């Protein structure tokens, strides 16, 4: 209802503007042809013969009607005044081509033969006046904005630098100039094309290449930098942003090249530059057709479906038309949020089931599996906070280890086709109980794959996920908002980073490749120094590290190591069809001995045995507690 009222309001506004322009067009027709007649007879009203005056007064109402009708057909009353441009001028010329024929023919058919100069000068003056009417509003708006920008004081316009003098940059400059709602003024442009240096784009000078950014910021007193090169590679964007973040200016960028293709480039689509833009690598891509064939028409269960990874899994799975999507989570608020989001987006088109329960509850997880008989299970439920698990190691075992075993066993008994474990690079040579527990989960998956031939069990291992619950980015942002300090555990600590959609894309692609027993690993590019990430985030927020916001080193947390590894030496590495996804080979072990140790670990964890870490180390020899 509210949306309907909004459109009714827009219709009234358009109608009001259209009527005003229409009346102005009618006045322009009368004026243009009167002056054409006036000029023809040596600018003397008395010299105009009565026959021509009669013809003028008889023809004008008809020609006004024809003008309004032709302009309406050519949608010249539908343009937004703020953004009228050369396109409207070309449309006006095309409209006048037909209008001139109609006017001359109507005059001849009625029998009023006017002087030839009346037609020629009248048409010329009319088209000039009609174009002037449409461009005058935009010109006045630009003049008003320029005047307000010179007034100074509290309302002084902020100076904007546009990086990229292409189509996107041109459209943005035009909008900045045409709007009176934006208290911002484009003062210069940057482009790496030497041929554009010194030239003007929409009245703004291209002052240099990216090498001149810092000097231009100082010379033109730039407050905001807008990166308007949506087609640039991630590596190229990172190189430019690395320069921009040293200026202390507010940084904004266009989300993607698709907006340029769709003609959606506008100021209100700009977003703040985020730490994601500084990763410097291309986003991970998957074969959507392969994933679609795997998921379409299948029943899919996601444990931990309300978490950071689980909820994104649900989003991407829902987009591939499953027969049924079952969300299973212990936290009702998280489950409710993703449930409502998917209902809003897909409505009745998605067969969605949302269940509350714990993977630690044997009866609950078995009953869910037996009732819904999923084809594919994505097991994302886990405790993952490293320091918290160091203080509560028994809970890590109960939830991560035993929860995985119970879920994997229930999947086998329910005839699940594929079981995909969400793992972590912290499982490789772990130094904390969380990583060690996930390594045992991987061992469970490989054991189950050997034991149950009808179900393919695989694990997907990746690094830190930007923006996920418990990741460093939300923590850094909160610390910056509070004025600092931003706390980094160690100056030399490095991590592999990826975005949540990338991580989930890997999981989906890996599940397609799964034959059974594999551990899939993503090539996440070069590791990133967390210290650099913290300092970049401070700069992106408009502050100077160690001057405005202090960076404080607090020492490695319990169980934390300086760098993470992707694979253990004995796992090896094998490429898949997706060159960014690798496979670690299964490590053979005595499954009977492993099961006996697992039963003992289960008993010890339920008794809250304080020696639980030693029992974990007995199962995972590569686990060395820090």
Residues marked as catalytic: 426
Q: Which residue from 247, 84, 283 is spatially nearest to 163, judged by alpha carbons?
A: 247
Whether the ω angle into residue 424 lies within 30 degrees of 0, i.e. cis, is no
Name the β-bridge partners of 189. Answer: 162, 206
Question: Taking the CB of residue 396, how many other CB atoms lie within 10 A of it?
Answer: 30
Give CA separation, 36 vs 117, 119, 202, in Å. 7, 8, 34
For residue 414, the surrounding DSSP H or E stretch is none
Q: How many angstroms from the chain centroid is the CA of residue 230?
A: 12
The tokens of 129 are what? 């006046």
- E strands, 68-111, are none
Q: Which residue from 228, 227, 226, 230 is spatially nearest to 261, judged by alpha carbons?
A: 230
Q: How far apart are CA 266 and CA 566, in angstroms?
A: 42
Q: Which residue from 448, 583, 511 is spatially nearest to 300, judged by alpha carbons?
A: 511
Helices and strands: H and E segment counts in the chain: 21, 22
Q: Which residue from 11, 121, 133 is spatially nearest to 76, judged by alpha carbons?
A: 133
Q: How many angstroms from the chain centroid is the CA of residue 599?
A: 46
Question: Taking the CB of residue 565, how many other CB atoms lie within 10 A of it?
Answer: 14
Is residue 574 within 8 Å of 278, Cβ to Cβ? no
Cβ-in-10-Å burial (0-12, 13-18, 19+) of 575 comes to: exposed
Q: CA angle 538-541-543, nearest 5°?
A: 60
Is residue 442 within 8 Å of 421, Cβ to Cβ? yes
**Nearest-10 crossing angle of helices 433-451, 403-413:** 20
Q: Please state the φ and ψ torsions of residue 574, each to the nearest 5 degrees.
A: -130, 135
Name the β-bridge partners of 552. Answer: 487
Name the β-bridge partners of 522. Answer: 581
Q: How far apart are CA 398 and CA 612, in angstroms?
A: 11
């Amino acid at each position: 209802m509210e949306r309907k009222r909004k459109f009714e309001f827009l219709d009234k506004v358009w109608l009001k503007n259209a009527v005003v322009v229409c009346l102005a067009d009618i006045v322009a027709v009368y004026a243009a042809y009167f002056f054409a007649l006036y000029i023809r007879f040596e600018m003397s009203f008395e010299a105009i013969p009565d026959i021509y005056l009669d013809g003028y007064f008889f023809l004008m109402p008809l020609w006004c009607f024809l003008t309004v009708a032709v302009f309406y057909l050519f949608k010249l009353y539908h343009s937004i005044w703020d953004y009228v441009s050369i396109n409207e001028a070309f449309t006006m010329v095309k409209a006048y081509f037909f209008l001139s024929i109609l006017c001359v023919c109507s005059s001849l058919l009625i029998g009023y033969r006017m002087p030839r100069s009346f037609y020629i000068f009248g048409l010329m003056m009319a088209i000039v006046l009609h174009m002037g009417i449409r461009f005058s509003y935009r010109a006045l708006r630009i003049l008003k904005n320029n005047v307000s920008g010179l007034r100074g004081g509290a309302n002084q316009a902020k100076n904007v630098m546009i990086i990229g003098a292409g189509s996107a940059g041109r459209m943005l400059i035009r909008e900045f100039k045409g709007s009176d709602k934006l208290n911002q003024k484009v003062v210069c442009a940057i482009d790496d094309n030497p041929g554009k240096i010194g030239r003007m784009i929409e009245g703004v000078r291209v002052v240099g290449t990216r090498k001149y950014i810092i000097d231009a910021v100082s010379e033109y007193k730039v407050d905001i930098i807008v990166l308007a090169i949506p087609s640039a590679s991630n590596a190229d964007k990172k190189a430019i942003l690395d320069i921009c973040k040293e200026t202390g200016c507010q940084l904004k960028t266009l989300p993607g090249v698709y907006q340029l293709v769709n003609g959606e480039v506008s100021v209100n689509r700009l977003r703040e530059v985020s730490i994601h833009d500084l990763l410097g690598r291309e986003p991970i891509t998957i074969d959507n057709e392969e994933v679609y064939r795997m998921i379409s028409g299948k029943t899919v269960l996601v444990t931990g479906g309300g978490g950071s990874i689980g909820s994104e899994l649900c989003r991407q799975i829902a987009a591939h038309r499953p027969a049924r999507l079952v969300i299973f989570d212990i936290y009702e608020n998280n489950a409710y949020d993703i449930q409502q989001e998917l209902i809003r987006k897909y409505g009745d088109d998605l067969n969605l089931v949302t269940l509350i329960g714990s993977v630690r509850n044997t009866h609950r997880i078995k009953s869910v599996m037996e009732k819904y008989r999923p084809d594919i299970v994505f097991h994302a439920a886990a405790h993952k906070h490293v320091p918290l698990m160091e203080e509560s190691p028994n809970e890590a075992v109960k939830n991560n280890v035993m929860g995985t075993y119970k879920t994997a066993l229930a999947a086998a008994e329910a005839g699940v086709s594929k079981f995909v474990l969400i793992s972590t690079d912290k499982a490789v040579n772990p130094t904390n109980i969380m990583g060690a527990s996930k390594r045992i989960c991987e061992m469970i998956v490989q054991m189950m794959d050997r034991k149950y031939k009808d179900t393919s069990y695989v694990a997907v291992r990746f690094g830190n996920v930007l923006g996920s619950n418990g990741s460093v980015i939300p923590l850094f942002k909160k610390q910056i908002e509070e004025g600092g300090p931003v706390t980094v555990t160690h100056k030399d600590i490095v991590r592999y980073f990826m975005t949540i959609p990338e991580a989930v894309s890997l999981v989906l692609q890996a599940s397609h490749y799964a034959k059974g027993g594999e551990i899939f690993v993503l090539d996440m590019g070069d590791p990133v120094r967390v210290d650099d990430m913290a300092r970049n985030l401070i700069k992106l927020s408009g502050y100077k590290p160690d001057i405005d916001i202090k960076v404080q080193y607090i020492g490695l947390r319990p169980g934390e190591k300086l760098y993470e590894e992707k694979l253990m030496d004995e796992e090896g590495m094998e490429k898949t069809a997706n060159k960014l996804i690798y496979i670690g080979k299964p490590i053979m072990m005595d499954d009977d001995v492993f099961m006996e140790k697992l039963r003992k670990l289960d008993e010890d964890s339920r008794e809250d045995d304080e020696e639980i870490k030693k029992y974990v180390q007995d199962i995972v020899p590569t686990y060395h507690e820090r």
